[in-house]
Chains A and B, each alone.
Chain A
């Protein structure tokens, strides 16, 4: 039996350590550890509640938008204020750009190289001029020693299945996608003022109404992204999937799914969200209502000083580092559980929940894809590594389509006489609020408690805390840990298959661990230079 430790996992956001036990060519057991501390909750205590949405965006420069919005919803909930419809639409559009940015980046740059062999791409013999140029560019880059994004690959591994010419085509799209993800961010900035960390969506609505020029510029940029998502990214999925269909049977995980719902169609009406909230439990056909009261964060195997599982409304951020020991405590991540169960969150959870709720465009896309992959009427194959990849692509396609409609709606709303984008409110002296939303990576919740008009307590439960959580009080594995069990490993020294399972969850640890150690004041500094 071999123990394999991958630390840090690259091509993810932040620091994650994965330890797996391999026996007879398969993963027998797995442990996921968050090894980075962060102190957002501590920083927020005692502050003006109106600062929270600006501070929480700084949890992470990669997906600040959903943190900002979720925090806004939490205060709006506490203050009992609803933003006017144009503000709801602009928030959807900003969130949508964040999804497109995140999914494109993940598909090509964070996950793609687990399936595309760069070294093999250099062996391609392209006929088209543009492909020849890509090959030359890639060869020059490799020759200069700037292997860069490509250094961490296990090139030549037998789990790479694509022929050289297809590898080269996807590399060409990898480069194109670098520009596309940047374009998506530029769109965030059109309404948002800037990106990362947009600044126009305070509690109550927007700081300024969108202008006709902004709407036009946004709409034009969106067309370009839509063309890329439909003609390049979706086609690449269709090209790649047949070579990797065995991954539809790997990495299922816990089989429980949670979504808080995302993209509002009317002010504060979660049930009517485009991707609806819900809970789908293993072995049950019926979708259940998602209630924040059912969430409890366990800390038995995490580095905290208390031991009782707590609902985030009563949550604490009291760190207490102990020795890293997979039998006892081994992560800075808490272990959130829903009604005591580990839940997978993310694009797959959202797509499956929408599918079960018969959301028409979602059902249509999923069924069409299943048919193309030769699995008509069998959505069960999506509960896998391949399913997580497909869900991200399908979601991009669906969202870009909806966004076009929202832009048209916004134009109409802003032409109405007396169109408003802000509703005034007072910060309550005392109160509680919950913001529930979906980051591209999955379910995101912010819990705020206000006393004397200041923040008394603030807790964030973020997607990767759900997915990459350690074991809980009942010793149940977290979703990522569970998904790793049974994964085939050809060579424990080159655990490419393990990376595929890990990357399928798109872990983002920057916000998942949110503690600093107050005794040593030790903070990881991720520096720009």
Chain B
């Protein structure tokens, strides 16, 4: 097990909603220093993959009306209230549970990508396919700039 993990999140049956998973597969060859997990849904099962890591980066779709094409957030994990259904578990809920168990990774980031089209289909939209090389450049730039 490597100390850092990158997780792809999103529904691969909903077009660009699944960009986190598709993009992670696209950039995987460049990520030799990381464990990668094309998880799709974040569920309670993901807990065991996250605990005791040093740094975790989630890649996920942004809202369609987000003003930027990509965005990077750090999840601080303080005072996150959480609901409880195994389905409604999201990144923040997982972080909160990891805190409760004293297993929270030291740093957690979310790299968001704005989708072009979210609709029931497998695979990315053509527009998104075209952007992949540029998104890869941005992501790798972010990786080298961010201080773990």
A contacts, CB < 8 Å to B: 10-14, 39, 42-43, 55, 58, 60-62, 101, 105, 109-110, 137, 141, 144-149, 151-152, 175, 178-179, 181-183, 185-186, 188, 194-197, 508, 510, 516, 521, 523, 525-529
10 further interface pairs, Cβ-Cβ under 8 Å (given A43-B13, A181-B45, A529-B60): A13-B85, A58-B12, A151-B81, A178-B101, A181-B44, A194-B39, A196-B45, A525-B17, A528-B9, A528-B60
Chain A nearest CB, measured from B52 CB (Å): 11
Q: Of B26-34, B89-97, B124-132, B133-141, which binds chain A?
A: B89-97
Quick check: B48 and A186 within 8 Å, CB to CB? yes
Quick check: B86 and A183 within 8 Å, CB to CB? no
Residues of B within 8 A of A510 (CB): 87
In the complex, the chain B residue whose C-beta lies closest to that of A140 is B100
In the bound assembly, the distance between CA atoms of A149 and B88 in angstroms comes to 11
Chain B nearest CB, measured from A212 CB (Å): 21
Residues of B within 8 A of A175 (CB): 100-101
In the bound assembly, the distance between CA atoms of A58 and B122 in angstroms comes to 11
Residues of A within 8 A of B78 (CB): 144
What are 26 sample pairs from A and B whose C-beta atoms fall under 8 A apart? A13-B87, A14-B85, A39-B120, A43-B13, A43-B121, A61-B41, A61-B45, A105-B44, A105-B86, A110-B84, A110-B86, A144-B78, A146-B79, A148-B80, A148-B84, A175-B100, A178-B100, A181-B45, A183-B48, A185-B45, A510-B87, A525-B118, A526-B88, A528-B42, A529-B60, A529-B110
In the bound assembly, the distance between CA atoms of A101 and B48 in angstroms comes to 12
In the bound assembly, the distance between CA atoms of A157 and B9 in angstroms comes to 39
Quick check: A141 and B100 within 8 Å, CB to CB? yes
Q: Which of A105, A109, A148, A510 has the most chain B CB within a 10 Å cutoff? A: A148
In the bound assembly, the distance between CA atoms of A141 and B90 in angstroms comes to 19
In the bound assembly, the distance between CA atoms of A526 and B84 in angstroms comes to 14
Residues of A within 8 A of B72 (CB): none
In the assembled complex, B119 has its CB within 8 A of some CB on chain A: yes
In the assembled complex, B43 has its CB within 8 A of some CB on chain A: yes
In the bound assembly, the distance between CA atoms of A179 and B103 in angstroms comes to 10
Task: Pick from A151, A183, A185: contact of B83, CB below 8 A.
Answer: A151
B contacts, CB < 8 Å to A: 9-14, 17, 37-45, 47-48, 51, 58, 60-61, 78-88, 90-93, 96-97, 99-101, 110, 112, 118-122
In the bound assembly, the distance between CA atoms of A445 and B65 in angstroms comes to 39
Task: Pick from A109, A196, A523: contact of B43, CB below 8 A.
Answer: A196
Residues of B within 8 A of A148 (CB): 80-82, 84, 93, 96-97, 100
In the bound assembly, the distance between CA atoms of A182 and B92 in angstroms comes to 17
Quick check: B87 and A146 within 8 Å, CB to CB? no
Quick check: A146 and B84 within 8 Å, CB to CB? no
Quick check: A62 and B120 within 8 Å, CB to CB? no
Residues of B within 8 A of A179 (CB): 47-48, 101
Residues of B within 8 A of A183 (CB): 48
In the complex, the chain A residue whose C-beta lies closest to that of B90 is A528
In the bound assembly, the distance between CA atoms of A234 and B79 in angstroms comes to 34
Quick check: B91 and A144 within 8 Å, CB to CB? no
> Which 7 A-B pairs have CB atoms at the shortest separation, nearest pair first?
A61-B41, A185-B45, A182-B48, A149-B84, A148-B82, A182-B47, A13-B87
Quick check: B120 and A523 within 8 Å, CB to CB? yes
Given contacts A146-B96, A181-B44, A528-B91, contact A42 B120 (CB under 8 A): yes
Given contacts A109-B84, A194-B37, contact A144 B79 (CB under 8 A): yes
Chain A nearest CB, measured from B98 CB (Å): 9
Residues of B within 8 A of A137 (CB): 100
Residues of B within 8 A of A13 (CB): 85-87
Residues of B within 8 A of A43 (CB): 13, 120-122
In the bound assembly, the distance between CA atoms of A196 and B45 in angstroms comes to 7
In the complex, the chain B residue whose C-beta lies closest to that of A61 is B41
Given contacts A61-B87, A529-B91, contact A55 B44 (CB under 8 A): no
Quick check: A528 and B83 within 8 Å, CB to CB? no
Task: Pick from A60, A145, A152, A528: contact of B79, CB below 8 A.
Answer: A145
Residues of B within 8 A of A197 (CB): 40
In the bound assembly, the distance between CA atoms of A109 and B97 in angstroms comes to 12
Residues of B within 8 A of A62 (CB): 43, 86-87
In the bound assembly, the distance between CA atoms of A194 and B8 in angstroms comes to 13
Quick check: A178 and B41 within 8 Å, CB to CB? no
In the complex, the chain B residue whose C-beta lies closest to that of A58 is B13
Given contacts A58-B13, A178-B97, A182-B47, contact A146 B81 (CB under 8 A): yes
Q: Which of B14, B41, B119 has the most chain A CB within a 10 Å cutoff? A: B41
In the bound assembly, the distance between CA atoms of A525 and B92 in angstroms comes to 17
In the bound assembly, the distance between CA atoms of A144 and B83 in angstroms comes to 16
Given contacts A149-B84, A529-B90, A529-B92, contact A178 B17 (CB under 8 A): no
Chain A nearest CB, measured from B48 CB (Å): 4
Quick check: B84 and A10 within 8 Å, CB to CB? yes
Quick check: B92 and A521 within 8 Å, CB to CB? no
Chain B nearest CB, measured from A395 CB (Å): 18
Residues of B within 8 A of A521 (CB): 119
Residues of B within 8 A of A55 (CB): 13, 122
In the complex, the chain A residue whose C-beta lies closest to that of B45 is A185
Chain A nearest CB, measured from B65 CB (Å): 13
Chain B nearest CB, measured from A256 CB (Å): 28
Residues of B within 8 A of A196 (CB): 39-41, 43, 45
In the bound assembly, the distance between CA atoms of A357 and B67 in angstroms comes to 62
Residues of A within 8 A of B97 (CB): 148-149, 178
In the bound assembly, the distance between CA atoms of A333 and B27 in angstroms comes to 40
Given contacts A58-B11, A149-B82, contact A528 B58 (CB under 8 A): yes
Quick check: B83 and A152 within 8 Å, CB to CB? yes
In the bound assembly, the distance between CA atoms of A191 and B78 in angstroms comes to 36
Residues of A within 8 A of B99 (CB): 146
Task: Pick from A11, A182, A185: contact of B84, CB below 8 A.
Answer: A11
In the complex, the chain B residue whose C-beta lies closest to that of A174 is B100
Quick check: A146 and B82 within 8 Å, CB to CB? yes
